[in-house]
Amino acid sequence: MKIVKRYLAMLLALVMLLSVAGSAALAVESQEGTADPSVTTPTDQSAPTLEETPQKVEKFSKYKYSEYFDDHAQTPFATGSFTVAANTYLPEQSSANVKVDTQYDSQDAEAFKALNGLAGASIRTEEDSTVVWNFTVPADGLYAINVLYYTVPGKKSDIERALTIDGEQPFTEAGALIFPRTWIDNPEDFKKDDNGDFVLDAAGSKVFKTDVHDNQIRPSSIEKNGWYDINCRDASGNYGDHLYFYLTAGAHTLALTSEREPMVINRLTFAVPGELPTYAQLQEEYKAKGYQNGTDASVEDGSVSIKVQAERPSQKSSTTLYAEYDRTNPAMEPYSYDTIALNEIDGGKFTSPYQWLTWEMDVKEAGLYKIVTRFQQSTKDGTFCNRILYVNGEVPCQEAKHVRFNYDNGWQVETICAPNGEEMYFYFNEGINTITLEVSLGEFGDILDRVDSVVYELNECYRDILMITGSTPDAYRDYAFDDLIPETLKTMEENSVEIKQIVEDIETLVGDSGSFTSSFKTLVQDIDTMTETPRVIAKRLQNFKSNLGTISTWLLNATSQPVSLDWVMLSPVEAKNPKSGKGFFAGVKHQLMMFLASFYMDYDDVGRMSEYADGEKEEIKVWVTTSLDQSQILRSLIDNNQNDLPCKVNLQLVSAATVLPSIAAGTGPDIVLGVGASDPINYAIRGAVMDMSQFDTYDQVLKRFNENAIIPYQYEKNGVKRTYGLPETFAFPMLFYRKDVLSELEIEIPKTWEDVYNCIIKLNMNSMQFGVPGTINTYGTLLYQNGGQFYEDKGNGEAISALDTAQSIQLFQKWTEFFTAYDCLVTYDFANRFRTGETPIGIADYTQYNQLSVFAPEIKGLWGFTNVPGTVQKDGTIDHKTLASGTASVILNTSKHPEEAWAFLDWWTSTQIQYEYGLEIESILGTASRYNTANLEAASQLPWSTADFKAIEEAWGYATALPEYPGSYILGRYINFAFLEVVNNEADPGEQLLDYVKMINEELVRKQAEFAEIQ
Amino acid sequence: MKFKLKRDRDQEPRRKLTKKEIATRIWNDRVAYLMVLPYFALFVCFTVIPVLISIFYSFTDFNMIQTPNFVWFENYTRLFLRDDIFLIAIRNTVILAGVTGPIGYLLCFFFAWALNEFTPKVRAVLTLMFYAPSISGNAFLVFTLLFSGDSYGFINAWLIKLGVINSPILWFQNTQYMMPLVIVVLLWTSLGTSFLNFIAGFQGVDRTYYEAAAVDGIRNRWQELWYVTLPLMKESLMFSAVMSITGAFSIGPTIDGLVGFPSTGYAVHTIMHHLNDYGGQRFEMGYASAIATLLFVLMVVCNKVIQKLIRKVGN
């Protein structure tokens, strides 16, 4: 009996685990039961025969620098050098807005007075300019091109230029050359005493300002405009600090076309950079010069000399490199268990190639010192992160280009060593010296570049196979791949060999790498099985794809080189390094104190600079419902711009759900930021929010936005149109497309919906999809482009649905047909499918741009975006209207200071503040979260490339928005129901829509009657 | 301390007490009252008063912001006579509660009974395994991955691979599949408090009763279960039943996590959802309160019925 029960228990457990599978079977059964036999499945139809497989045409693909370099491997490096002065450019071939510095307007002229004798020979190139030079090359050879440029103020992003020689781009990377800017921490953000002098800490460096609770406030960054001297180099960092260009003897032209930001150029130098000495040679040199070991001892015992806190660099390469705090470790300097003590540079930000930080070291006694850092590198298990060390602006020896920071879970204190582990000592002069650490991929650069090529080529192979099999290959069918795509198989074999080589190279570089290379080995296995017996390709395709995805992710991770830094110091050669931790008991004490501090510290109030005095200035309460980061950025903006504000602002971060109850209870704030698009009218009809059109500057403020952005926040009552919300964010769909895939399939980018059908048919023939969102916005786009409307406005804030017209029904059918007849998918991961090329073209929110640019590095430059497909109008023009979504700010009716509240919103939506806010967001949360402000001018200043922003600007003009009425929530809901019923169960579109329109109208009428008698 | 035991008091003849006598009694039992007070205060503040307020608002047209007006039975007549979706909600609630409540309850019971046979260590591990889904917050969301509507969703990918279907099924947006899937997931998460309570109940039965029962002529384990174990753990049974049933009536959030809100075609729209729809989205608090009151009545009635049924156990 007991045994029986035991088995019973086991059985029950099994049933529990299998219930998942069981339900699937259940669902399958019912699916089979309802399947309509007359509907043929489109996948079967679209399986292409041999004849249909399109001929490969001229390919849009990369010509990578590594290929270019290999193609010119026989060419010797140039021995001589020559210089081209910038002002010898050809005005007739260059843009009209290129100006020699004698023609600068007065403002620029001021800035160029102090150009150290470089004035008079420079030219200013705007952010939408091309400048062309003629020059003569003395002898054949490979040259690096060095540019001397001045960083004029712009949009605060790095300067980007595309280079062509004799009208041609030598290789893909030359299309995006980066000329960085230099930044410093704003001196205004450091503590000053009453005399206006900086307050210094024990080590003699400036300290950060603090708020009323003694929390240190992160400084803002300001640009240090100046002359910089940089070799043309690519954006990825894969090829080290310079690129070589092959030039034959004789006359050539060189053109620099602006991709981003204005720039002043003084000269171009063509030369080959000199070789650096090895560390051994450097030591010889030091010996010859008679340098002694330094014994600088500013601290009594002589063990610790010159220490600089890493979070206080003298210069830095990027605004994203700023002081942060680590409160988890008691050995951090400076240390605090309760207040915010900024004490580190976070590795999460100090991670991309070319980022650098410079610190000043005040050396009392010249001599040789070792450089010691306290750092944390806890992400790259099994390998190291690379930095280039500069001493006084120069890389002292070859080994200094490959300074390694090895993996460990905790913080480490280590001397900077050569790759072979030997400690390196460098000579420092008496007085101020600088030390710079720059992120570099080092030896990894070459490997990453090769992996990048492999991923790109294998993705191409994947698509080739996909075009034959479709996304759901028949595992038991022999597709005869060897006959159909022999080249593809050959490419795969070649790549398999290359991957094996890569793995070997990685292993020689980092030693036994284990998990670091395991994903490569799996992929190699996949490819080898697939190429040896092509029969199994169909079976293993999914596997292959997911392993390929793993490699893409690996690539993305490997490009980052995160090292957090606590401090940097120069130490006498013999001195022992301090310990990196403080021991177990210090840790326990730290945890305990932190716990206690959590009872009395008000971390919601961080950043308040002054105690609020009564009666001094009115105070308004502002609620934000976004994230902590966003609210902190806004708070620091408020603090920094206190003078532009009419009153004190008390900013509070609340959860979105609290807004409504607080309004009901009458304890709400004056302003709520970031409410959903439907909220302002919902609140307004209940009399909870204020009409903004009553304020004097209303019309002026409104001009900042797309004229349609305000539509959802306006409501008409008794013949008067009032505005209850001010747009904050604004996002609209655009058409994303893969240039390489489309050109390979000879598909033009569709301009109209008719073109889309052709495009879909061609894609389906190759088992690819067109991405059409199954959201009401797509229907809205079709409707609005045909002059239709969702609502028939009856005035006085009342409306009924206008969807029962013949046109609306026809367009509804058109929308659902994408999914029923054309095989588009309702649910799909756009970014991932776009990346693999399965969905090489699709409509998505324009903010998707940010995600793609960050998470899909392997297709950088291979995709673009443009207006969504349009509808041809009677006059022959094409209408690309789209429906935008957004968020808004509202002023509550209970506000006692409406004028001040309005002034705050005026300030908040102004171009300058929206721009600064966007920049800060981006610097903290990364490019992937670029702020989609509703202020067009602010958006234009965010670091978009000029060409991309042009596309956005055009789409911006076509964007419109849905109006809101009482009860309008029901429209989206029921249209979605109708849509899914048609798509899932093949219901008749017209019937479905009309059924639901009836219900929509009932709800609208009921809801509008509820508010008819109110005001 | 002059505590009068309940037993003593019951022996006194029942008669109407004077106010003074009541006061004396309360004073005499003041320690007991004091001990009850904290819970009583919390219960009144956060359960009794809100219920009363909600009943009050169900007679008004409260819209959460403006002062409510009395509309008397307007909300209720609309609810019963003019609200088609409410009928759908009732139907779905009855189906979901009717299926997941009893089945979940029985599952809890049988799992607990079976687990009770293992050695303590094995039992602890198994208990954790079964209990985990219900405490791990949104763990059920793993089903949204399994049943993703994408053609690369686990189930879709498999079915396509096996040739059962040709295009992906939108499991949680297709009215045909939503109800069975939701029931499966709810059952998966149902081994919650009542399961633990059952395990405790089984542990609480004194072994000597089994011996005595064996002497008295119990022939098999089923009899043992019915005549000894169950009657001895009636309190556990009752508690678990109440938990299961009330749980089955208020399963809104789990469903939202799976199919979104509102569910397509109101396929799994329950009374809770209807309440949230009117309260949270349409701001018709008066109407939502009427729904809440109704739900409250429904739960009370259900509990009464269940208690009646449970009393029959072992008889």
The pLDDT of residue A117 is above 70:
no
Chain A closest-CA separation from residue B315 CA (Å): 25
User: How high is the pLDDT of residue A19?
Assistant: 47
Long-range interactions of A104-110: CB distance < 8 A, separation 24+: A108/A152
CB A372 within 8 A of CB A413: yes
Structure tokens at A6: 């035991």
User: How high is the pLDDT of residue A254?
Assistant: 94
Do A827 and B148 count as a contact with CB atoms less than 8 A apart?
A: yes
User: How high is the pLDDT of residue A23?
Assistant: 42
Do B282 and A969 count as a contact with CB atoms less than 8 A apart?
A: yes
Closest-CA residue in chain A for B181?
A23
pLDDT band at B72 (very low <50, low <70, confident <90, very high): confident
Do B264 and A980 count as a contact with CB atoms less than 8 A apart?
A: yes
Chain B closest-CA separation from residue A27 CA (Å): 6
User: How high is the pLDDT of residue A53?
Assistant: 35
Q: For residue range A508-553, list pLDDT tens digits in order.
A: 887 766 677 788 888 888 899 888 888 888 888 878 888 887 888 7
User: How high is the pLDDT of residue A9?
Assistant: 57
Q: Which of B65, B159, B220 sits opposite A688 (nearest CB)?
A: B65
Tell me whether B173 touches chain A (CB under 8 Å). yes
Structure tokens at A456: 């790109």
Q: For residue range A472-511, list pLDDT tens digits in order.
A: 677 778 888 888 888 889 999 999 999 999 988 888 887 7
CA distance A319 to A62: 31
Average pLDDT over residues A604-609: 64
User: How high is the pLDDT of residue A610?
Assistant: 66
Chain A closest-CA separation from residue B1 CA (Å): 40
User: How high is the pLDDT of residue A329?
Assistant: 87
User: How high is the pLDDT of residue A51?
Assistant: 35
User: How high is the pLDDT of residue A44?
Assistant: 37
Do B264 and A27 count as a contact with CB atoms less than 8 A apart?
A: no
Tell me whether B68 touches chain A (CB under 8 Å). no
pLDDT band at A54 (very low <50, low <70, confident <90, very high): very low
Do A9 and B66 count as a contact with CB atoms less than 8 A apart?
A: no
The pLDDT of residue B13 is above 70:
no
Tell me whether B221 touches chain A (CB under 8 Å). yes
**Mean of all residue pLDDT scores within chain A:** 83
* Minimum mean pLDDT range among A209-218, A763-772, A981-990: A209-218
Most confident by average pLDDT, A299-308, A1005-1014, B27-36: B27-36
Tell me whether B281 touches chain A (CB under 8 Å). yes
Chain B closest-CA separation from residue A829 CA (Å): 8
Average pLDDT over residues A936-957: 87
The count of other CB atoms within 10 Å of the CB of residue A469 is 19
Do B117 and A5 count as a contact with CB atoms less than 8 A apart?
A: yes
Determine the residue among A4, A23, A819 to mutate to test chain B binding: the one whose Cβ has the most chain B Cβ atoms within 10 Å.
Answer: A23
pLDDT band at A202 (very low <50, low <70, confident <90, very high): confident
Chain B closest-CA separation from residue A36 CA (Å): 12
* Minimum mean pLDDT range among A131-140, A144-153, A842-851, A855-864: A855-864
Compute CA distances A38 → A35, A472, A606, A987, whole Å: 9, 22, 66, 14
Question: Number of Cβ pairs closer than 8 Å across A and B?
Answer: 142
B184 contacts in A (CB within 8 Å)? 19-20, 22-23
User: How high is the pLDDT of residue A40?
Assistant: 36
H or E element at residue A266: strand A263-271
* Minimum mean pLDDT range among A439-448, A592-601, A840-849, B126-135: B126-135
User: How high is the pLDDT of residue A24?
Assistant: 40
User: How high is the pLDDT of residue A218?
Assistant: 80
Residue A486 corresponds to which amino acid? P
Average pLDDT over residues A592-602: 87
Burial label, A1013 (beta-carbon count in 10 A; 0-12, 13-18, 19+) = exposed
CA distance A740 to A746: 10
Structure tokens at B267: 């396929």
Average pLDDT over residues B15-35: 88
The pLDDT of residue A31 is above 70:
no
Q: Which of B165, B188, B283 sits opposite A19 (nearest CB)?
A: B188
Provide the CATH number for the domain formed by B84-311 in this structure: 1.10.3720.10
The pLDDT of residue A628 is above 90:
no
Q: For residue range B80-113, list pLDDT tens digits in order.
A: 888 889 999 999 988 988 888 888 888 888 888 8
CB A708 within 8 A of CB A883: no
pLDDT band at A814 (very low <50, low <70, confident <90, very high): very high
* Minimum mean pLDDT range among A34-43, B74-83, B263-272: A34-43
pLDDT band at B230 (very low <50, low <70, confident <90, very high): confident
A661 contacts in B (CB within 8 Å)? 64
* Minimum mean pLDDT range among A101-110, A544-553, B212-221: A101-110
Q: Which of B110, B171, B282 sits opposite A27 (nearest CB)?
A: B171
Share of chain A above pLDDT 90, in %: 32
pLDDT band at A371 (very low <50, low <70, confident <90, very high): very high
User: How high is the pLDDT of residue A119?
Assistant: 56
Do B264 and A30 count as a contact with CB atoms less than 8 A apart?
A: no
H or E element at residue A996: helix A989-1010
* Minimum mean pLDDT range among A53-57, A432-436, A452-456: A53-57
The pLDDT of residue A30 is above 50:
no
Q: For residue range A387-413, list pLDDT tens digits in order.
A: 999 999 999 999 999 999 999 889 999
Entry field: residues in chain A = 1015
User: How high is the pLDDT of residue A314?
Assistant: 93
User: How high is the pLDDT of residue A685?
Assistant: 86
The pLDDT of residue A48 is above 50:
no
Strand partners, A83: A269
Q: Which of A9, A30, A985 sits opposite B114 (nearest CB)?
A: A9
CA distance A142 to B142: 57
Rounded to two decimals, the pTM is 0.75
The pLDDT of residue A300 is above 70:
no
Structure tokens at A652: 């509070």
Average pLDDT over residues B34-52: 93
Residue A187, preceding peptide bond in cis (omega within 30° of 0): no
The pLDDT of residue A668 is above 90:
no
pLDDT band at A34 (very low <50, low <70, confident <90, very high): very low
Q: Which of A23, A682, A984 sits opposite B173 (nearest CB)?
A: A984
Do B174 and A985 count as a contact with CB atoms less than 8 A apart?
A: yes
Do B114 and A41 count as a contact with CB atoms less than 8 A apart?
A: no
The count of other CB atoms within 10 Å of the CB of residue A368 is 18
Domain boundaries, chain B: 84-311
User: How high is the pLDDT of residue B52?
Assistant: 94
